[in-house]
Structure 1
Amino acid sequence: MHLDHAPDDHDLGPAAASAGALRPDGSRRALRIGLGGPVGSGKTATVAALCRALRDRFLLAVVTNDIYTREDAEFLRREAVLPPERISAVETGACPHTAIRDDISANLEAVEELEDRLGPLDLVLVESGGDNLTATFSRGLVDAQVFVIDVSSGDDIPRKGGPGITTADLLVVNKTDLAPYVGADLDTMAADAARQRGPLPVVFTSLTGDDGVRPVAEWVLGRLAAWHPAPAAPR
């Protein structure tokens, strides 16, 4: 039986302490963040960098999605970003968005099996297989979603929109170090993304630097702080 899940809501403030955030024993379940985006945009590299940045402070696990292989999970294990038992793989057997939006049962089972086997976790990252600009996660699977694009696909990608770009809780424009080599204008990308997304945040990253994932990690830390609020001060 699957756990109850958080409501479909972009706001993960203190009000997120709802029944959907609790496990059957009354403990808070892990925050679930989905990462989607086109093939080659840097989703797996972002997951790896987040694990390295947060693993000493939080209890993490990862679920990856590939159509016919477990390649992304195997990459994360080779890179030793987490102990291997904290990385699980789902073979979707169909378009990636099917397993993150339409029939989420395999991913739910993977997430819940990790929590049952490992004990309480703070954060589970769910990485989609590479998909197009329509890819979005079901709010029955994740509590917040990140959409990753990269400059090498063209600086017109934010302008093209699509649910992944316009509705994700965080848009990541990755591989900014390649902009001079592919003729991408980062200011144009930033302006187009702002027009498409309104108040929703956008960050630019280059994972070739030692601290390149920091903008994404800081956003995740904010979500974690809201999901696991500090205890009230004694009166």
Structure 2
Amino acid sequence: MHLDHSEAFPRQHTHSAEALRPDGNRRALRVGLGGPVGSGKTATVAALCRTLRDRWCIAAVTNDIYTREDAEYLLREAVLPPERITAVETGACPHTAIRDDISANLEAVEHLEETLHPLDLVLVESGGDNLTATFSKGLVDVQIFIIDVSSGDDIPRKGGPGITGADLLVINKTDLAPYVGADLDTMALDAARQRGKLPVLFTNLTSDDGIRDVADWVTAHLTQWHATAGAL
């Protein structure tokens, strides 16, 4: 497992979202997961790994400012073999490392591709951020933005680039709605107003099958990714 990007991933400035690897093979689909602190990003990554790992070859990159907590959680939960989990310590606002200077994350992803090839899917989890967090298209192919009901049912209405522009909005922790006074119907309507036709899914990761809809969404993108490989 590679945790210190300053040693493992020397800066190569390879900012690229090319769909093909240097050897001409299709690279892995890269899915970014962002959202505020405590919204359930790491738990979502873990649940996706558990659900998809028997069908697809997966790796994960986590981001924290000064710690390695998220990667260590995934390791403790044994959601993937240790060599498939990498941590990046951003040392700055999390959105900087996923949107502005993506060098450390991109090099981490490319290192996983080189050492574990072939990979089907790389999950890139942002450090906890606010509603402005978005991923560079040079780093990920699609992005999921995660909020939770305990932060208030007015969060979708407040908007922000993560809510309005992510390929998928996930509203997590629906099991807490009765305890925090959150109206899920209101959240669904406000999210639809903000996002138009872009999809919104509700999740409850305490349920045995609570990640299924998100896993199906990722699987659809993976299937399409591989189906178009021959056209490149």
Instruction: Give the aligned residue type for 1:55.
Output: R
1:119 deviates by 1.5
In the alignment, which residue of structure 2 is the partner of 1:38?
A: 36
SS at match of 2:59: strand
Residue aligning to 1:76: 74
Cα distance, 1:193–1:144 mapped onto 2, change above 3 Å: same
Q: Which residue of 2 aligns with 1:93?
A: 91
* Counterpart residue identity of residue 150, structure 2: S
Matched, 1:59 2:57: yes
Query: What is the aligned partner in structure 2 of residue 195 from structure 1?
Result: 193
Report matched runs for 1:141-160 at 5 Å. Answer: 141-160=139-158
| 1:29-67 alpha-carbon deviations (Å, 9 max, x no partner) | 000000000000000000000000000000000000000
Q: In the aligned structure 1, how far is the partner of 2:193 from the partner of 2:29?
A: 29
Identical columns (%): 81
The structural deviation recorded for 1:5 is 3.5
Alpha-carbon separation, structure 1, partners of 2:65 and 2:229: 42
Residues 21 and 2 of structure 1: CA distance in aligned 2, closer, same or farther (over 3 Å): farther
- When normalised by structure 1's length, the TM-score is 0.91
Residue type of the partner of 1:156?
D
Among 125, 128, 135, the alignment partner of 1:127 is 125
Q: Give 1:2 shift.
A: 6.2
Unpaired segments ≥5 residues, structure 2: 1-11
Please state how far the C-alpha of 1:191 moved relative to its aligned partner: 0.1
| SS of corresponding position for 2:227 | coil
Q: Deviations for 1:154-203, whole angstroms, at most 9, x for unmatched residues?
A: 00000000000000000000000000000000000000000000010000
Shift of 1:230: 7.6
Change in Cα spacing, 1:164 to 1:195, as seen in structure 2 (3 Å) is same
Separation (CA, whole Å) in 1 of partners of 2:227 and 2:196: 27
* Alignment partner, residue 46 of structure 2: 48
State the partner residue of 1:15: none
* TM alignment of 1:211-230, pairs within 5 A: 211-229=209-227
Change (3 A) 1:229 1:160: same
The match for 2:184 is: 186
Alignment of structure 1 residues 105-124 onto 2, 5 Å: 105-124=103-122
CA displacement at 1:3 relative to structure 2: 5.8
C-alpha RMSD of the superposition: 1.3
Amino acid at match of 1:200: L
Match of 2:26 in 1: 28
Provide the rounded CA distance (Å) in 1 between the counterparts of 2:24 and 2:92: 35
How many residues are paired up?
219
User: 8 Å contact 2:131–2:159 — kept in the other structure?
Assistant: yes
SS at match of 1:21: coil
SS of aligned partner of 2:60? strand
Letter paired with 1:171? L
Corresponding residue for 2:4?
none
TM-score scaled by length of structure 2: 0.92
1:51 partner amino acid: C
Q: Measure, in 2, the Cα distance between the counterparts of 1:155 and 1:229.
A: 38
1:161 equivalent to 2:162? Answer: no
C-alpha separation between the residues in 2 aligned to 1:200 and 1:74? 33
Q: Please tell me whether the aligned partners of residues 15 and 106 of structure 2 are also in contact (alpha carbons under 8 angstroms).
A: no
**CA deviation vs aligned residue, 1:129-150 (integer Å, no higher than 9, x gap):** 0000000000000000000000
